[in-house]
Amino acid sequence: MPEMIEFGSFQLRFLRNRHDTGGSLDMFELTLQPQGRMPVPHYHESWEETVYGLSGVVTYTVEGVPHEIGAGDTLFIPRGKVHGFSNISGSVARCLCILTPGVLGPEYFRELAALLAAGKPDPAAVRSIMLRYGLVPA
């Protein structure tokens, strides 16, 4: 059954995760509100990310180069490449994100969402969570 994880300006609907795919992949739908963004550009140590646009436009910036991902567009982000995303389009945007292999799982997102829900998070605490799960802040 899909799991929803709320982050304020964006929501994740986990469809598959490392636990039910034997570590093959993590797959979630990202819904990003207007002006929503990933607050910390980062890279992944142990997985690649593929993004498939479902609706609206999400701008992923990879190694300083912006890529607008609309419905039907795809983007591949190799491990080790610094990236982040934002929605500057003015309307809600949705994309499907697939992480291969599946080593992250929903635990990272649950932990970070709980920290954010508790108020303005300490940047050191955010960094610690990110590093523990293999995301390296840029």
In this predicted structure, the answer to whether residue 8 has a pLDDT above a threshold of 80 is no
Cβ pair 56, 92 in contact under 8 A: yes
Once rounded to an integer, what is the mean pLDDT over residues 93-117?
Answer: 94
Residue whose entry in the numeric block shows the structure tokens 């498939």: 52
| Confidence band of 40 (pLDDT split at 50, 70, 90) | confident
What are the helix (H) ranges across 53-122?
107-117
Residue 23 and residue 19: Cα distance in Å, rounded? Answer: 6
Boundaries of every domain in the chain: 3-137
pLDDT (tens digit, 9 = 90+) per residue, 18-29? 999 999 999 999
Whether the per-residue pLDDT at 101 is higher than 90: the answer is: yes
Sheet holding 42-44, edge to edge: 65-69, 58-62, 83-86, 42-44, 135-137
Return the pLDDT at 124: 94
Tens-digit pLDDT profile for residues 62-76: 999 999 999 999 999
State the number of CA atoms in the 13 A half-sphere of 59 facing the CB: 14
- Name the pTM for this structure: 0.92
pLDDT recorded at residue 109:
92
| Fold observed for domain 3-137 | Jelly Rolls (2.60.120)
Angle, CA of 14, 36 and 72, to the nearest 5°: 60
Give me the pLDDT at residue 76, please: 98
Q: How much is the pLDDT for 39? A: 74
